[in-house]
Amino acid sequence: MIKELKSWQEYKTLIADNAQLEWIFRGQSCSDWQIRSSLERSGIMNSFDKGEERMLYEFKRASRYYLSQNEIPQTLIDWLALLQHHGTPTRLIDFTKSPYIAAFFAFEDDQDYGDNIAIWIANKIYFYQRAIYYLQSKNFKDFDIKHYSFRDNTFQKIFQESRTGELDCVVPVESHLMNERYYIQQSVFLSPTNPYKEFQEQLDFLDEVKKFGLMKVLIPRKERKKAMRDLDKMNINHASLFPGLDGFAKSLKTKFSTLESVDESYKSLVKLKSAGLIKDNARA
């Protein structure tokens, strides 16, 4: 399902009108890009049958040289999230619980990828419930129904079974031991259960709720400055999402490149005066 909006304000209205829904979000700079995991984009599974397992094994083996004892993950999801965080391809696909953090990632890149940016919206409950029905048909049991996402025991079984290439669904998962960046970005993941197939090919398990379970929202790229200024006022910027000097430095570039021009400021002033929201000093 594709929903084309005309402005940044329409997106804010869409979010406000549906605030109680269990939506998760993914922002992409190009509206033509499909959702793909970094593992899918890498092509590793096409040329190396056990590439995913081998990368995980190598990462675990060397991690003791880089991590303190308290930082070592305890679950499979935590390991994959850590790999993803540091740039190793995984099946996990980054989403966020925040519609505005997703918008930031969609608008942050100032390259011209076309007329629109895209924000993908997934209904986490639909994905979770349909995944349970599907996995039950494959003899999976003992689901944790408290969080509308899969935790490690079930995900471990899914990961092991997925080696056969016979599962075809997408499950929402959350890391228990979140690093600082994932915590701040309110991260949640969608994970394909078949590492050999494209994400889009594994959505048929949603059945009749497929068109409601995943929606692509298009917003004009020309709204970038307005959106980024608005997001900065919400304290959503590189400095807050990427703690450290690098994040702060990058936030300055974005902040000063999206400031209103003199002409834009004048037009805003005229608009406010026309609406009677401000008065000339001479008339006050």
* Dist CA 81 CA 142 (whole Å): 23
* Dist CA 2 CA 271 (whole Å): 32
Shared domain check, 257 and 193: no
- pLDDT value at residue 209: 85
119 or 181: which leads in pLDDT: 119
Domain boundary among 236, 254, 271: 236
Shared domain check, 221 and 87: yes
Taking the model in full, what pTM does it have? 0.83
Where does the pLDDT of residue 191 fall: very low under 50, low under 70, confident under 90, or very high at 90 and above? very high
Where does the pLDDT of residue 35 fall: very low under 50, low under 70, confident under 90, or very high at 90 and above? very high
- Are 93 and 190 spatial neighbours (Cβ–Cβ below 8 Å)? yes
Shared domain check, 279 and 222: no
Shared domain check, 250 and 226: no
Alpha-carbon distance values, 255 to 11, 40, 153, 184, 252 (Å):
21, 34, 43, 20, 5
- pLDDT value at residue 174: 85
Shared domain check, 122 and 144: yes
- Closest-CA residue to 254 (of 267, 238, 274, 230): 238
Alpha-carbon distance values, 85 to 90, 94, 107 (Å):
10, 10, 21
Q: What is the pLDDT of residues 210-257, one digit of tens each?
A: 888 999 999 999 999 999 999 999 999 888 887 776 666 666 666 666
Does 241 map to a domain?
Answer: no
Q: What is the pLDDT of residues 48-60, one digit of tens each?
A: 778 888 999 999 9
Span 2-10, average pLDDT: 94
- Are 82 and 73 spatial neighbours (Cβ–Cβ below 8 Å)? yes
- pLDDT value at residue 89: 92
Range of the structural domain that residue 279 is part of: 246-284
Looking at every residue in the chain, the average pLDDT score rounds to 84
- Closest-CA residue to 100 (of 277, 229, 267): 229
Task: Give the number of domains in the chain.
Answer: 2
